[in-house]
Amino acid sequence: MSPNEATITLPNNKTIKTPTGLFINNEFVDSVDGKRFETINPVTEKIITTVAEASEKDVDIAVDAAEKAFNEAWRYFTGVQRCKLLNKLADLMERDLDELAALESLDNGKTYKESKETDLSMSIEVYRYYAGCYTRHEPIGVCAAIIPWNFPLMMQAWKLGPALACGNTIVLKTSEYTPLTALKVAALIKEAGFPKGVVNILSGYGKPAGSAMAYHMKIDKIAFTGSTVTGKYILKASSESNLKKVTLELGGKSPNIILADADLEEAVKWAHSGIFFNHGQCCCAGSRVYVENSVYNKFINKFKEHTEKMKVGDPFENDTYQGPVVSKIQFDRVMGYIETGKKEGATCLMGGDRHGKEGYFIKPTIFTDKEEMTIMQEEIFGPVVAISKFNTIEEVIEKAHMTTYGLAAAVFTKDVSRAIKISNELKAGTVWVNLYNTFDSYSPFGGFKQSGIGRELGKYALKEYTQVKTVQINL
Ligand code: NAD
């Protein structure tokens, strides 16, 4: 078998063949220096397979391929031709839904149900949404995308959909923790009939590959999703190289505000999924919950009761709500925050420990009763929530603004005018009222403050992937 294809055995003993090379010019190839790295199953802590690792030279080769494809082919495709191909890709992803969902769960640890019903369903919707869009402005040229590990398929769709619909070519680097599904989609991109070089997918690390992309002189635009620290690095790299356009989708520490008049059962349900969906590994996770004093005790009792019912375990079992976090590094990081919470004097109402002996499982953890603590300020990116109380709206808005982030927020109340008033006050790119974590292809997503620059999804993303030209003619 080619080293750039692996046969992977699933927990149900079915096997999947999947590419493991760099995807450049519609071929799966070795890296120039032949380097490979391992990708680990977070349930068993064992190697799934190895994939080719992109070096700086590979980035150059992928950029050259994207540049050639842009200049010679893709920019001359009509909107209709591009849209047909995006729709075809969505059809092929639907055809291979089960395989893609299984691979995503294996690589990332998220539940199979969630991979199928959330990640794949939204990825396909995004490709179809952008297949319906047409170009009114000029494409930018060669775009780059660097994505994280928490939603590998979805982040790929959010980047490729608008970039391709607008007529750009692209070089995308996946996270070193989850390289597999993007390569599987690359095989479908080839099968759909996209011209070679239009989409190039690199597996590799932040350094050298990601950094080489950020500094590359022939990349015209870079779209990054990941941590604020790396986002700042990308912006600096752009200013020190060719001033490539930059969009950043960064971290968050989102406040979730529960007023006393809220439907408490509903608020508990949404606040729970707000933090524990995808094991807390969401940039917009509702990791700070503020509850109005008069219903505080009732809320935390119900919240704990609800959380206790949610099963932690094998991502491939249908009734599992929470699988392992993605990697050993992430496991140690989250456990470190839990220790800090305990040391700083917060009450650990539930969890606070690993689950089981093997795999990167962490018990759903609830901290209460202390606000001036690190875990109320910093993004943990794991199944850990801090719950606190407030007395007035002014007070809770002030508390909501206590962090450097501004990605999302939520309010639970039956009083629509109070909901609107609070939504208007909150410094957040998305405010949910009486729900949490809902997304669609039409609604723009992005951050205020240090949560990012620019927007993804909807028509706003089209602006980020096109440029306006004024032509004045003296006839
Ligand atoms: P990260 O910043 O460590 O890595 C993200 C990506 O950047 C990876 O592909 C990594 O290889 C690459 N990278 C790392 N260093 C780099 C460098 N110097 N130059 C170029 N590329 C580099 O983040 P992560 O741990 O993978 O993801 C978690 C973070 O992503 C969290 O902070 C989370 O909030 C954020 N996130 C944000 C959104 C959003 O839409 N706002 C969505 C998902 C995740």
Give the Cα separation of 115 and 181 in Å (integer): 11
- Residue 249 designated active-site: yes
Ligand 1 pocket residues where CB is under 6 Å: 146-150, 173, 175-176, 205-207, 210-211, 214, 225-227, 230, 233, 249-252, 283, 379, 381, 407, 447, 452
Residue whose Cα lies nearest atom 19 of ligand 1: it is 211
Tokens of 178: 């989850």
Instruction: Find the distance separating the first CA and the last CA of the chain, reported in whole Å.
Output: 64
Q: Whose CA is nearest to atom 30 of ligand 1?
A: 226
Å from CA of 291 to ligand 1 middle = 31
How far is 208 from 381, CA to CA, in rounded Å?
Answer: 25
Q: What's the gap in Å between 349 CA and the centre of ligand 1? A: 30
**Cβ atoms of residues 161 and 458 within 8 Å:** no
Helix (H) or strand (E) holding 298: helix 293-308
Residues 168 and 188: their CA atoms lie apart, in Å, by 19
pLDDT value of residue 86 = 97
Pairing outcome for strands 255-258 and 288-292: parallel
Phi and psi at residue 71, to the nearest 5°: -70, -35
Residue appearing with tokens 């407030």: 390
- Please report, for residues 222, 253, 431, the alpha-carbon distance to residue 375 in angstroms, rounded to integers and kept in the order given: 31, 10, 22
Q: How far is the CA of 329 from the centre of ligand 1 (A)?
A: 14
Q: Locate tokens 């190839």: which residue? A: 29
For the stretch 399-404, contacts whose Cβ atoms lie closer than 8 Å and that sit 24 or more positions apart, written own/partner, are: 399/255, 399/290, 399/371, 400/255, 400/257, 400/288, 400/290, 400/426, 400/427, 401/426, 401/427, 402/376, 402/377, 403/253, 403/288, 403/377, 404/228, 404/449, 404/450
Ligand 1 centroid to residue 281 C-alpha, Å: 12
Nearest CA to ligand 1 atom 12: 206
By three-state DSSP, how is residue 290 classified? strand
So what's the pLDDT on residue 29?
98
Nearest to 259 by CA among 292, 218, 283: 292
Q: Whose CA is nearest to atom 22 of ligand 1?
A: 206
* Residues 162/461, Cβ–Cβ less than 8 Å: yes
Write the residue with the smallest CA distance to atom 40 of ligand 1.
Answer: 249
Three-state SS annotation for 18-51? EECCEEECCEEECCCCCCEEEEEECCCCEEEEEE
Residue pair 169/198 in contact (Cβ under 8 Å)? The answer is: yes
**174, 227, 445, best to mutate for ligand 1 pocket (most atoms within 8 Å of CB):** 227
- Residue that is written with structure tokens 């949910």 in the block: 432
CB 147 within 8 A of CB 153: no
Burial class (CB in 10 A: 0-12, 13-18, 19+), 105: buried
- Select which of 99, 249, 292, 464 is catalytic: 249
Cα 94 to Cα 63: distance, rounded to the nearest angstrom = 29
Q: Which two tokens stand for residue 126?
A: 């995004």
Q: pLDDT digit of tens for each residue in the chain (475 aa)?
A: 567 999 999 988 999 999 999 999 999 999 999 999 999 999 999 999 999 999 999 999 999 999 999 999 999 999 889 999 999 999 999 999 999 999 999 999 999 999 999 999 999 999 999 998 866 689 999 999 999 999 999 999 999 999 999 999 999 999 999 999 999 999 999 999 999 999 999 999 999 999 999 999 999 999 999 999 999 999 999 999 999 999 999 999 999 999 999 999 999 999 999 999 999 999 999 999 999 999 999 999 999 999 999 999 999 999 999 999 999 999 999 999 999 999 999 999 999 999 999 999 999 999 997 777 789 899 999 999 999 999 999 999 999 999 999 999 999 999 999 999 999 999 999 999 999 999 999 999 999 999 999 999 999 999 999 998 888 777 7
Q: Which atom of ligand 1 is nearest to the CA of 283?
A: 34
Q: Are 214 and 234 in contact (CB under 8 A)?
A: yes
Place of tokens 């969630």: 114
Residue of 59, 126, 146, 450 best suited for mutating to test ligand 1, as the one with most atoms within 8 Å of CB? 146
- The closest-lying atom of ligand 1 relative to the alpha carbon of residue 174 is 9
Residue the block writes with tokens 């080839």: 190
Q: What is the pLDDT of residue 2?
A: 61
> How many Å lie between the centroid of ligand 1 and the Cα of residue 226?
2
Q: Report d(CA 179, CA 62) in Å as an integer.
A: 17
Please give the number of the atom of ligand 1 that sits closest to the Cα of 237: 19
Measured CA to CA, the distance from residue 37 to residue 258 in angstroms comes to 45
Query: For atom 16 of ligand 1, which residue has the closest CA?
Result: 206
The β-bridge partners of 312 are: 322
Atom of ligand 1 nearest to the CA of 233: 18
